[in-house]
Amino acid sequence: MFTGIIEELGAVKDIKKDSKGARLSIFAKTILEGSKIGDSITVNGACLTAVNIFNNSFEADVAPETLKKTNLGELKNGSKVNLERALRLSGRVGGHLVTGHIEGVGVIKEKKRFGNSVEFFIEAPKDLLKYIVTKGSVAIDGISLTVVDVKDRSFSIAVIPHTLDVTTLGVKSIGDSVNIETDIIGKYVEKMLLNPSPPFNKGGNGGIINEAFLKQHGFSK
C-alpha cells in the first residue's frame, strides 16, 4: 500500500524487453535507503518488486499485464519516473490509500495555468471515469491528487508548483500518457451494492438497495 506522495524523481537507466515482459533498471537514491530485495516500489504509480538493489539504482521485472495496462512500456533510457516506497503503518498518510495497481492509461488533452497552479485535463476510459468524482482523490502516475471536475470523457486536476517540481508532471506535455488508479473505496462500495451478502440480499428484491428495501428495514422519509 502507498500514499501517492512521491519520494523521489528517478530516471530510467536501462529497459530490456522480450516476449516474457521487461526488466527496468532505474537510477535512484532516496528510495534505496532501507530498501531490500523483494520490497515493493511504485514506478509511475505501478507497484513493482525490487529484484536487485545497487548503490545508485535498482532493478524490477515488469509483467506483460503491467506493460499492457500502464505506460511503462513507453519508457526509454533517461525517462524521468516517480518513485515511492511502500507505506509504513507508523507514518502519516499525506495523500490517500494507493494500491499501486494501475487500472488504465489516460492522455493529457490540455493544460491551463490558474494562478500559481496548472490544471491538467486528462481524457480517460469511461469505465474509469465512473469511479472519479469531483473533489475526490485519484492517483496519476502514482501522484495523489484532488479531482477538480469530471466531464463525459475527461477529468481535471490542479497541480501546485511543488508537485510540478518534484514529479514527472513538470515535464509532461499535451498528448503524453499517464497511469491512472482510481480510489479503491468506490469500487468496494459498488461491488457490495451490486452483489450484496446477507443480510442485504434478503427480502426478494434481488439484493437491490432501493426505497422498498429501506422501508422494510425501518427507514422512512
Q: Cα separation of 23 and 15, whole Å?
A: 6
**Which residue in the list 25, 40, 99, 117 is annotated as catalytic?**
40
In angstroms, rounded to a whole number, what is the distance separating the alpha carbons of residues 66 and 47?
Answer: 9
Q: Supply the pTM of this predicted model.
A: 0.85
Which domains are delineated in the chain? 8-85 (2.40.30.20), 104-183 (2.40.30.20), 184-221 (no CATH)
Identify the band that residue 19 occupies on the pLDDT scale cut at 50, 70 and 90. confident
| Mean pLDDT score, 122-138 | 96
Choose, from 25, 35, 86, 101, the residue flagged as catalytic. Answer: 101
| Helix intervals (H) in the chain | 64-69, 126-129, 161-166, 184-194, 211-216
- Model confidence at 188, pLDDT cuts 50, 70, 90, reads confident
* Tens-place pLDDT, residues 133-168: 999 999 999 999 999 999 999 999 999 999 999 999
Candidates 129, 108, 115; CA nearest to 182 is 129
At residue 211, the pLDDT reads 74
The position carrying cell 499525506 is 94
- For residue 19, indicate whether it is catalytic: no
Report, as an integer, the average pLDDT of 92-117: 93
pLDDT over 90 at 197, yes or no = no
